[in-house]
Amino acid sequence: MLVAFSVSPIGDGRADGSVHEAVAAAVKIVRDSGLPNRTDAMFTTIEGEWDEVFDVVKRATEAVGAYGSRVSLVLKADIRPGRTGELDGKLERLERAIGEQA
């Protein structure tokens, strides 16, 4: 299973709207989990079994909660039982398809 999520605080009162410290706390939890993961400018994607992935998402969301009075969580999941290595596998298949079209 792949889960892409974005979590950020709401109502922290910061004039510049910056959330990088809160996001860093969430990403640290993801990285410390030991599960395959990747972070880009918009989402963090994590790969694993249902219970382990959602435990990490829950803990990351709770960590962000310390930075504001509310938390926004956006989540997208690709659930394919029995599949592993899809964090890289999907990109490899995409790049191969792009190469074939060139």
Q: Is residue 52 classed exposed, middle or buried when 0-12, 13-18 and 19+ CB atoms within 10 A define those classes?
A: middle
pLDDT digits (tens, 9 = 90+) for 37-88: 999 999 999 999 999 999 999 999 999 999 988 999 999 999 999 999 999 9
Q: Is residue 55 classed exposed, middle or buried when 0-12, 13-18 and 19+ CB atoms within 10 A define those classes?
A: middle
Architecture of domain 2-101: 2-Layer Sandwich (3.30)
Q: What is the pLDDT of residue 6?
A: 97
pLDDT digits (tens, 9 = 90+) for 22-35: 999 999 999 999 99
Q: HSE-up of 63 (CA within 13 Å, CB side)?
A: 20
Q: Where are the alpha helices (DSSP H) in the chain?
A: 20-32, 50-65, 86-101
Question: Would you list the domain boundaries of the chain?
Answer: 2-101
Q: What is the pLDDT of residue 18?
A: 79
Residues facing 6 on adjacent strands: 74
70: helix, strand or coil:
strand
